[in-house]
Each structure stands twice: as C-alpha cells, then as structure tokens.
Amino acid sequence: MRQSSQCTIVSAIVCLCFGAAAPKALADETCNSPYISNLIKGQEDFVHVWTLGVEGLGDGSDKLVTVDANPASKSYGKIVNTVSVGGRGEAHHMGFTDDRKFLWAGGLDDSKIYVFDVGTNPSKPKLIRKITGLPAKTKFVGPHTFYALPGRMLIGNLSNTTDKGGVTGMALYNNKGSLIARYDMPTASLGGVKGDGYGYDIAINPAKNVLLTSSFAGRQNYMRELGDLIKDAEAMKHFGSTMVVWNLKSMQPTQVLSVPGAPLEIRWSLAPGQNWAITAAALTSKLWLIKQGEGGAWSAREVGTIGNPAQVPLPVDISITAAGKGLWVNTFMDGTTHYFDLTDPEHPKETYQRRIGSQINMISQSWDGKRVYMTSSLLAHWDKKGADNEQFLRAFNWDGHALAPAFEVDFTREKLGRPHHMKFTAKANQSRTLAALAR
Amino acid sequence: MLRFSRRVAACLLILASAQAAVDVSPASAPRMEFTPLAPGTYRLPAIQSVENATLLDERAHPVRLSALTQGKITLLTFFYTYCVDPLGCPFAHQTLTLLRDRIVQDGELARAVRFVGISCDPGTDTPDALARYAADFATDSRFEWRFLTARSVSALLPVLDDFGQDVSVDVDDSGRATRALHHMLKVFLIDERGRVREIYSLAYLQPQVMLNDIGTLYLERRARAFPTR
C-alpha cells in the first residue's frame, strides 16, 4: 500500500517537472577517483557503510558502520565496528583521500564533514577531524560528492546558504582540512545551453583534462517529505537538467549539456582510450552517453531506457565494470537492480534484473565484478514508510549470469539506521607505515 | 622593461613548444589527449604552505628545508635510491630530467627553477649514497637539482606528514623491516614563497602540463617583480 502510494507520488513528480530526481551515489571500487592509490583488485576485507541516524533507533546518530566482507574471516558478514559522530545530519556520501588512508563523509542536512582514519586499522576506523565551516566559508550547503585530487578533496555540493535552492558549487579542500577555493556552477549559457547552476556528482578524466558534473536539487527539496514536495508545483520546477564540462586545470566551465531528468551518478569508462562517460537520469529513467566529437566539443545523447519509465522506477545509483563493458543500475521504487551490457555504449542492452528488496539505492562492486553490495536508503525523508522501509546491506556473488545472496545485515534490527554509501578497505598484510616502524 | 619582455617572450617560446597535442614524454607516461592551456592563462591555487625542517645534503651538511622550497620555483619529490618500480622513482626522475633539459634552454628560467629530491629511507640513503645517486641526475651546472636525506626516520616523519606523503615498508615474518618500500608517487610544485601550488601523482605526471605550470608560476613571479603600471 505504501509502495503503491509512493509510486504515484513519484509519477506525479515526473509529470509535474520532467526533470526532477532523486539522489544517490558514488560508491564502488570501479568508481573511485583516478587519483586514488591502492585500488583493491582482489578480495576486499571490509565494507564501510555511512549510515543515517534514525531518531529513537540506537543512539540516533549518523555513524560509520564497518562490516567484515572477507569470506575467509570468522566474522564474515558481521558488524565489526561502528563510529557514531554524535549527531544526525543526513549522512550521505563519502570518498577516500588520494592515499586511501582517510574517508571524508558528509551530511546533507547539517553540512558537516567528518574525516575517518581507515588506513591505520581498517577494521576500526577512527574519527579524527570534523569540518564545520563549509557554509560560512563557501556559501554552499549539502556536501555530496567527495572526489580525491592529489593532496586535496574536491566536494560537490547540492545547495546554498541564501535560498537553499539548487544553485551551488564545488569546494576544494587540502587533505589537512583547510579550504583552498570555491567554484560556482555556471548559470550562464555555454555552448548554446544555459546552465542551471545545480550540482551533484563529479567525475574526472585526466587524459582529457575534463571534469564532468551533474545536477540534482537544493536543500529545500531534498530535505522535504516527498509527499509534501510533490504537492508544491513551484518547488517541483527546481530540479537539475544539465551536465557541465569543465577544464580541469583551470577549473573553468567550458560547456553546458542539456540532460533532462536530473542526471545523477557519472561513470567514465575505465578502459584505456575509451573517453566516454555514462549517467542515468532519475526521473526520465534514461541512460545518457557523454562523449567528445571530432571537433573537440562534448555532447550528451540518450542511449537507453531503464525499466518502464511509465512506472517510474527511479534509477538512483549506477556502477560500471572495470572493463567498461557492463553497468549495474539500481531502481529505487521497485527495489530492483538491472545489469546492462555496455559492449556497445551507444546501445546498452539490459541482460539481467533481480528484485533486491522493497527499496534499494546504492550499489558497489568489487574490481573483478564478482561481488556486489547494495544498501537501501535514499534520503531520510524520501525512503518508503512502514513495512516497505527495509534498511539493509545485502551482499551478492555475481557469476556473470545471476546474483547469489552472500550475506545480509539488517540495519533496523541492529539499531543502526539507514545505510547509504559504501567504500571498501583491505588489510595492510605484510607492510607497516614508516611511522609505525619508528615507534 | 624591454628586457622583461624579451625574457618573457623567450620563456613563452620554450613553453609554447610544449603545447603540442601529442605528448613527447616516454611511452610509459600517463595518457594526455588534450592541448594544455598556455602558461599564464590560468591560476594555480595555493594548496598548502611547506613546514620547515632540518635535513641533510649530499655532504652531510644540515640544510633548512625552507632554503630549498623558497626563492625559486621548486619541484619536490620523495624517492629512495634503490627504487626499481618502473612507475615509481625512476619514472619520476626520467620525467624531471626531460623537464630539466627543456628548462635549461632558457638561462633565466633555469635560474628560477630547482628540483629537490628527499629520500624516504634515511637509513640506507646516507649522504654518501645520495652523492653517488645525484651524479646520475644533477649533472648540468646550469641547473640546481638537490638531493636530501634525514638524520633518522624520526627526523623525516614530520616532513612526510606535512606533505601527506605516505610511506610503508614490507616486514618479514618476524616483523622486521625489509628493503621493500611503498610510497605514492607525487611531485610537488612549490612557488617561490614556499606554497604548494600543484601536486602531480602518476595520473597527472604529464610533462607538458608540468612545464606550463612552471611557466605560469614564472610569469606570476615576473609580474610581481615588474608590475604593470
């Protein structure tokens, strides 16, 4: 009943604005920043889950939950550590620093940024720093995407301090936590398309000196109850419908691309020489391909459909395989994951789907693609209600044909909250830091 | 003023030769499929200041790090002399050698730039070892290329920490350190005031881009020395 009513709600969003969306994700081993060292190309030991607190559930705070993900471990599939941040600020996404020693995690509501040490002992992350000055120093709120550059962290935000709308920008911090620069999302016309100023994801192709950004919605939308939001026709006009091409070196926007339907996660193909990226537009349920033409200009073109757009499946997170030949797409409303064959990125073909739960959002896959992890929560005010409000981490094995359940953690039963973004770590094995050896 | 214009023009001529779309760097270099922006047409933000420290040079003389990170445009990297990782220290020094050879084509630019290498294994890389190593690189008297080590790991750690340069060491079954070091290749571009303005990791180690970044800082330095009225 609840699910049915929410499908109706989301259908209304699409009808009203044809460009609204829903959030989610940066996550897995294949979607890390290209500047991150030590990719885990074998078995990950731990999956860290940035989890939204729920009032009255456990301590009610946002927390980093660490789950043992190594089948050879005695605690496989079990929670081995939690770090509560002592408050509830709409925990959402996180990202490694370039040396993979630290995880930066943000709150969309309170705009706080937490830095966890996951390098010293990945089984027991420690909160080492809180950064609270983002709104005051940048006028941006809603830190969403954490994207490593050498020695610094580029943060894509969702909103601003002035009107809490979708016009926003990016903030650049050094790894010590000091603000270096801020960059407004463009609102002028570039390449014949007017910028909407909205932000969401960040993805860089160093070989092309190109940074891509996508667009979602401001705080006044993402922090509202979905039922209230869709009744507000004016608010429903305020969702992103653009992507922006930036010159990475100068951090200047060079092109605005029209991508209606709230383009969310961006994934560059990781195959050498394959300079294309793909994204999913949440409200229109379409896949878009971004590539460069012979004249040097970039273009975005619709190349595929996810599920039945009339039923508003609401694609949220996507995950590309390391070879760039396959793409996982999670659709929130029907709790289903879809696998697309990307052998021809101009014509993605869905070859597999499986219902995972009453709702799903984030998806992370191992580098070899053999293990896939999914979590359930979208946003505190957008998750389903009642019995459909399942909150879980579910792990699967993938043999190229079908998903086989591996383990599951019930985040409600464990009194943890709403699980969202995931990142992997591995033990250091036979190496020690120079600092540890000096002690 | 006339001299400034000539010098800048000469500098830009050298740097312009590095703007072709096809990278002439070694085959193992990161892919670069774009034409870099011309020097001076963009700004490099100040990422962080460099903390001071006392290290040792090839003659075992104490050297304040600030003396080698200020006053010139500096490219600084961490290395160890016995590194054989083809995409590690040898690759970094190969890239730096290529850059050095281009920079020395302009005498004034050459005097405005220096390279600094700091060993991350002070136990093995003694001043004598550094001197032998430097003989392979610091061979052009027109250019300052310095190599440093530390009295101890403890003396080095604050420097590594300041630069965010992680170094780990493989240990044997009894927990003793071996000679297998791991560090993330980074090259730091530091302006004459001791501020890090760019950091190049492997995906970023594109010689043409690095040369143009040096040119950007060089033009910035000249603009301060000869402000336009």
Here the ipTM equals 0.90
d(CA A6, CA B107) in angstroms, rounded, equals 70
- Where residue A432 falls among pLDDT bands split at 50, 70, 90? confident
Residue identified by tokens 């070879």 is: A323
Subunit contact B36:A181, Cβ cutoff 8 A: no
- Could you list the beta-strand ranges (E) of A31-112: 46-52, 63-68, 79-84, 91-96, 102-107
d(CA B57, CA B126) in angstroms, rounded, equals 9
Domain boundaries, chain B: 2-225
DSSP state of A215: -
pLDDT, mean over chain B? 85
- How far off is chain B from A303, nearest CA to CA, in Å? 25
Six token digits for residue A97: 């620093």
Six token digits for residue B34: 């774009």
Alpha helix segments (H runs only) across B23-152:
89-103, 107-112, 127-134
d(CA A145, CA A86) in angstroms, rounded, equals 22
Between 3.90.105.10, 2.20.28.10, 2.130.10.10, 1.10.730.10, what CATH number should domain A2-427 receive? 2.130.10.10
pLDDT value of position B23? 34
Six token digits for residue B206: 């594109």
Average pLDDT over residues A247-267: 97
* Interface of chain B toward chain A, CB-CB under 8 angstroms: 30-34, 36-37, 41-43, 45-48, 120, 153-154, 156-157, 160-161, 163-164, 166-172, 175, 177, 180, 182, 184, 186, 188, 196, 199-201, 203-204, 209
How many other C-beta atoms can be found within 10 angstroms of the C-beta atom of residue A294?
Answer: 5
pLDDT value of position B174? 80
How many other C-beta atoms can be found within 10 angstroms of the C-beta atom of residue B130?
Answer: 25
A55 three-class SS: coil
Average pLDDT over residues B27-50: 88
pTM for the full predicted model: 0.91
Six token digits for residue A250: 């100068």
pLDDT, mean over chain A? 91
**A151 Cβ contact partners less than 8 Å away, ≥ 6 residues apart:** A98, A174, A175, B47, B48, B163, B164, B186, B188, B196, B199
What are residue A171's DSSP bridge partners? A155, A182
Average pLDDT over residues A44-68: 97
pLDDT value of position A429? 66
Kindly tell me if the per-residue pLDDT of B24 is higher than 60.
Answer: no
Are the CB atoms for B9 and B223 separated by under 8 Å? no
Give the torsion sign (CA, A347, A353, A358, A361). negative
Q: Domain B2-225 is classified in which CATH homologous superfamily?
A: Glutaredoxin (3.40.30.10)
Q: Which residue in B42, B47, B154 is closest to A151 by CB distance?
A: B47
Q: Which of A122-136, A347-361, B131-145, B187-201 has the lowest mean pLDDT?
A: B131-145
Q: How far is CA A90 from the centre of its chain?
A: 14
Kindly tell me if the per-residue pLDDT of A11 is higher than 60.
Answer: no
Among A109, A64, A20, A173, which Cα is nearest to A379's? A109
- Where residue A20 falls among pLDDT bands split at 50, 70, 90? very low
B203 three-class SS: helix
Average pLDDT over residues A419-427: 95
Are the CB atoms for A75 and A68 separated by under 8 Å? yes
Chain A residues with CB inside 8 Å of B31's CB?
206-207, 272-273
Interface test with A, best of B32, B37, B157, B204 (most A CBs within 10 A): B204
* Burial of residue A250, with CB atoms counted within 10 A of its CB: 0-12 exposed, 13-18 middle, 19 or more buried: middle
Interface test with A, best of B162, B201, B210, B211 (most A CBs within 10 A): B201
**A19 Cβ contact partners less than 8 Å away, ≥ 6 residues apart:** A239, A240, A241, A260, A261, A262, A283
What are residue A107's DSSP bridge partners? A91
- Where residue A18 falls among pLDDT bands split at 50, 70, 90? very low
d(CA A275, CA B31) in angstroms, rounded, equals 11
Subunit contact B42:A250, Cβ cutoff 8 A: yes
pLDDT value of position A272? 81
Kindly tell me if the per-residue pLDDT of B26 is higher than 90.
Answer: no
Task: Mark B178-193 as b/e (b = at least 16 C-beta within 10 Å).
Answer: eeebbbbbbbbbbbbe
Kindly tell me if the per-residue pLDDT of A177 is higher than 60.
Answer: yes
The more confidently predicted of residues A397 and B228 is: A397
Among B26, B38, B2, B23, which Cα is nearest to B219's? B38
- Where residue A430 falls among pLDDT bands split at 50, 70, 90? low
Average pLDDT over residues A213-219: 97
A4 touches chain B (CB under 8 A): no
d(CA A119, CA A62) in angstroms, rounded, equals 21
The more confidently predicted of residues B228 and A173 is: A173
pLDDT value of position A28? 63
Average pLDDT over residues A250-263: 97
pLDDT value of position A16? 32
Average pLDDT over residues B158-171: 90
